[in-house]
Chains A and B, each alone.
Chain A
Amino acid sequence: MNDDSRYAQVISLLQEIAPEVEPEELVRDQPLRRQVDLDSMDWLNFLIGLHRAFGVDIPESDYGRLVTLDDVVGYLRRKAG
C-alpha cells in the first residue's frame, strides 16, 4: 500500500466519524483535532477504525505521537508496512 491510498483510507475513516469533513480542506501537517471537532469518544472510534482497517494495535502510550494526518499515515506505514 502506498501513502496516497493510506491518506485516502484514513480520511474516509475520519468521515465516518465526522461526515462534514472536506478532504481538500484538511492540512496534513497541522493538528487533526484542531481542524476537525473530535472529542475523546470520536478519537477512540477513529483509532478503533484504524485498528480494524490496518490491523495495527495502537497502545495508549502512542496516542501522543498521532497529532497530524502526516503523523497518522507515517505511523501506519511503519506499523502496518
Chain B
Amino acid sequence: MIEFTLPALGADMEQGKLLEWKVKPGDAVARGQVVAVVDTSKAAVDVEIWQAGTVAELLVQPGETVPVGTVLARLRAPGEKVPEGPARRRISPAARQRAAALGVDAESLPGSGPEGAVTLADVERAGAEKPSPAPAPERMPDMRQAIGAAMSRSKREIPHYYLSEPIPMGRAQSWLDAFNAGRALPERLLMAVLPIKAVALALKRFPELNGFYRNGTFEAGSGIHVGVAIALRQGGLVAPALHDAADKPLPALMQALSDLVQRARSASLRSSELSDPTVTVTNLGEQGVESVFGVIYPPQVALVGFGRVSPQPWVEQGVVMPMPVMRATLSADHRVSDGHRGALFLAEVRERLQHPETL
C-alpha cells in the first residue's frame, strides 16, 4: 500500500483543508498527476502525487482540515493485489481519520460495528482512555500569520550573514534592448529574468547555497529550483519554484516566470512549485529600493536580492562614465557557508551578467 499524505507546501504550512479530490477509488494515477486541491493559508494548491498506483480509498473528505503528514488516501502500488480475507480490519474512514488525529492505532482496537468493524465510537473510546496532550490552539488560516511564523523561525534558527555587491548593468541593458527591439510584445523579455538566470548558473559552482538545512545537516538540492518572490495583489507573497532554471533558455524562463506570476495571483499553483524551491530570489527594484537584505525562507539556506537598476557614476579602466547599476545582495546561512564563498558567488553572478548573450 502507498500512503498519500498531505505534503508541507512550504515552511509556513502546518495544516491544509481538502477542497476537492481529482481522483476516485479505482482510478489509476501517474507520477506527477494532480490528485487533489488543498487550501493552505496562502492559496488553493493543486497537489501532485509522486508515485504511480491505483487509488484504493480516500480517507479525508472535502471540507476537512487536517495537519501536514495526515494520510489522505491509500493507493495500491502497480502489481499489488487487492487484499482479501479476514486479515484486513474493517475500519470506517471517519474512524481511521479520527484515530490518526488522536494517535490511536485503529487496527488494534476491538470493533463494535458490523462484522467487527472499528467505528468512530470505538476510536473515541480508545482516545478518551489514552492520556491526550493539550489540544493545539486553533490557528487563523491567515497569510500574515503564516509568513510571520516562517520568518520568526528563520530569524530564530538561521545565523544569517549578509553581503552586497553593485553590478554594472550596461551590457545587460544594451543586450536586452537589442533583443526586444525586433520582437513582438509577447516574445519580449523582462530584465528580471536575467538576474534569475545568472543566479541559477552561478549556483552550479556554489552548491552550498542551493538546498536545505534539515535535522542538523545540509542537503544539497537535487536541482536548481529558484523560488521567485511574488507579491500578491491582496497583500502577502508566495515564492514558488522556477524548476531547473539554469537549464532553461531565457525565452523559456520568461514564459515560465510569466505563467508562474499569473498562477500565483490566480491561486492555482502546484504543490511541487511550493515545496521544491532550493533558493529564493527577490527583486524589489521595481518598488524603487536600492537593495534588499532578505530573510531566508527555511529550510533553504540562501536568498538573493536585487534592487533597482539606476544610473550612477562608474569607473572603468580609470574613466568615469554613467552606468546603470543594480545592487545584488546575498543572505546566507552561516551553518552551511561563509562570507568568503558568498562573496565569490556574488562575483560570479556579476560576471555572468557581463555576458548576457551567454545566459
Contact = CB atoms under 8 A, between A and B. Distances in A.
A17 to B, nearest CB: 9
Given A39-B286, A60-B177, A60-B181, A44 B233 contact: no
A6 to B, nearest CB: 18
Contacts of A41: 190, 192, 257-258, 261
Contacts, number: 36
Interface stretch (A23-31, A51-59, A64-72, A73-81): A51-59
A3 interface: no
Interface string B169-204: 000000001001100111010111000000000000
B162 to A, nearest CB: 24
A57 B184 contact: yes
Interface in A12-37: 18-20, 37
A5 interface: no
A65 to B, nearest CB: 15
Contacts of B177: 60
A15 to B, nearest CB: 11
Interface of A: 18-20, 37, 39-41, 44-45, 47-48, 51, 57-61
Interface of B: 177, 180-181, 184-186, 188, 190-192, 231, 233, 257-258, 261-262, 286
Q: Which 7 pairs from chain A and chain B are nearest by CB?
A: A51-B185, A39-B286, A60-B180, A48-B185, A41-B261, A40-B190, A48-B186
22 contacts: A18-B233, A19-B233, A20-B233, A37-B233, A39-B231, A39-B286, A40-B190, A40-B192, A40-B286, A41-B257, A41-B261, A44-B185, A44-B188, A44-B190, A45-B258, A48-B185, A51-B184, A51-B185, A57-B185, A58-B185, A60-B180, A60-B181
